[in-house]
Amino acid sequence: DTAVSQTPKYLVTQMGNDKSIKCEQNLGHDTMYWYKQDSKKFLKIMFSYNNKELIINETVPNRFSPKSPDKAHLNLHINSLELGDSAVYFCASSPRTHLSGNTIYFGEGSWLTVV
Amino acid sequence: DAKTTQPPSMDCAEGRAANLPCNHSTISGNEYVYWYRQIHSQGPQYIIHGLKNNETNEMASLIITEDRKSSTLILPHATLRDTAVYYCIVRVAPNTDKLIFGTGTRLQVFP
């Protein structure tokens, strides 16, 4: 069973559309994340949720809205897609916050291409 | 925030040990050093982490200098499947979960 799974794996869409990427983890972790990897391969955190509560929100346009219906799910909704949103989006989870040493487990990524 | 510096690329022959260095001269006393890797088209994968002492697990060994300003990840018997980008990361601050990934070291294992 995949520990952190995200869907879809590939998504091609037109500018201006609204799309969602779903993420689920079956590890029983309290914390989930969204990371973005751009064309230059830089991997940057976007959001972090702990038990459905937003704890990290980097400087991300408000077109990006994470939603956590429960602690096992963290979905990413993107409004009015732009060409610059093309990237690989990684969902991740970790067992707990505020304790040094916890590790983060990543999903396989969702390749978003905006045309 | 503690920064890390890694060589952009390294080669290693299959079966040999791969030693990947990382400098983190501004690391603070309670920050951990983490190593992750990203195989092409996959999500990052946790390898190992440490604070002061050397650490070993089934994947690798981590050697941290006594002054903690640098560390080395050792893959004792590199295989072709170890070809990946290896990231050395220092936690941004205690009690947060934010990992900042740099550019990493692209390790190419050749036959």
Average pLDDT over residues A99-112: 83
**Rounded to whole angstroms, how far apart are CA atoms A64 and A68?**
13
Has residue A55 got a pLDDT over 90? no
Q: What is the pLDDT of residue B84?
A: 97
pLDDT: is A58 or B25 the higher one? B25
Average pLDDT over residues A9-29: 96
Has residue A100 got a pLDDT over 60? no
pLDDT band at residue B94, thresholds of 50, 70 and 90?
very low
To the nearest whole percent, how much of chain A has pLDDT over 90?
64
pLDDT band at residue A2, thresholds of 50, 70 and 90?
low
pLDDT: is B2 or A103 the higher one? A103
The letter for the amino acid at B103 is T
Q: What is the pLDDT of residue A1?
A: 60
Residue A31 forms contact with B (CB below 8 Å): yes
For the stretch A33-45, pLDDT in tens is 999 998 888 889 9
**Rounded to whole angstroms, how far apart are CA atoms B84 and B42?**
10
For the stretch B34-76, pLDDT in tens is 999 999 989 999 999 998 889 999 999 999 999 999 999 999 9
Å from B88 to nearest chain A CA? 13
pLDDT: is A76 or B28 the higher one? A76
Average pLDDT over residues B21-25: 94
Average pLDDT, rounded, for chain B: 90
The letter for the amino acid at A63 is R
Q: What is the pLDDT of residue B87?
A: 95
Question: Which residues in chain A are contacts of B38 at CB distance < 8 A?
Answer: 43
Q: What is the pLDDT of residue B88?
A: 94
Spatial CB neighbours of B111, under 8 Å, sequence gap ≥ 6: B13, B14, B80
Q: Do B44 and A56 touch (CB under 8 A)?
A: no
Average pLDDT, rounded, for chain A: 90
Has residue B9 got a pLDDT over 60? yes
Q: Do A100 and B41 touch (CB under 8 A)?
A: no
The letter for the amino acid at B23 is N
Output b/e per residue, B37-71; b: 16+ Cβ within 10 A.
Answer: bbeeeebbebbbbbeeeebeeeebbbbbeeebebb
Has residue A98 got a pLDDT over 60? no
Residue A105 forms contact with B (CB below 8 Å): yes
Has residue A50 got a pLDDT over 90? no
